[in-house]
Structure 1
Amino acid sequence: MGWLWAIIVGFVLGLLAKAIIPGKQHSPLWLTTIFGIIGALIGNALARGFGIDETSGIDWGRHVLQLAAAVVIVLLGDMAYTAVRGNRQRA
């Protein structure tokens, strides 16, 4: 069941990141979900590094780090996707 939660969290984080980033992103929804999953994993690793991954109650710090990482990954991933897609259309 862990993989299902990873997909759901990645989907939500990816959509939130797309909403935060100004302008239009061109990556498809499935790729945005993957970017969100990667952002969640990086955010969790950062939270572990800062020692805030396990707190009592809601882990707001971990969630903020996950979202910040997802924003960066979606931004960079969309730029890469657009560059690759643009090169394919010219060939």
Structure 2
Amino acid sequence: MEQIFGGGILWTLLIGFLAGLLARALKPGDDKLNIIWTIVLGVAGALLARFIGGALGWYGPEEPAGFIASVVGAIILLFIYGLAKKKRA
């Protein structure tokens, strides 16, 4: 968990929160998420970006995902969440 953004747990949560906020601001639509889910969104976006970047050879085994890649990963997760939410309704 410490290597998601290349820092400690608090650094990961702070950057995850910022990535989640930026992703919510950039993606059109109304995504009602509280602060905890915004942090989870940002951290999960970083994990997704790290997984995809590692599979494509963009990141080495010990390299963390970058901030922009984390925001893009969070936006992808928001789109998936929106699609799943539409199917439930």
Structure 1 length normalisation: TM-score?
A: 0.66
User: RMSD of the alignment, in Å?
Assistant: 2.9
**Residue type of the alignment partner of 1:28:** N
Higher helix proportion: 1
The structure that has the greater radius of gyration is 1
Q: Which residue of 2 aligns with 1:40?
A: 46
Whether 1:71 and 2:75 are equivalent positions in the alignment is yes
Percent identity between matched residues is 25
Structure 2 length normalisation: TM-score?
A: 0.67
* Uncovered stretches (5+) of structure 1, i.e. residues with no partner: 87-91
Aligned partners of 2:16 and 2:44: how far apart in 1?
8
Q: Which residue of 1 aligns with 2:12?
A: 6
Q: Which residue of 1 aligns with 2:23?
A: 17
* Uncovered stretches (5+) of structure 2, i.e. residues with no partner: 1-6
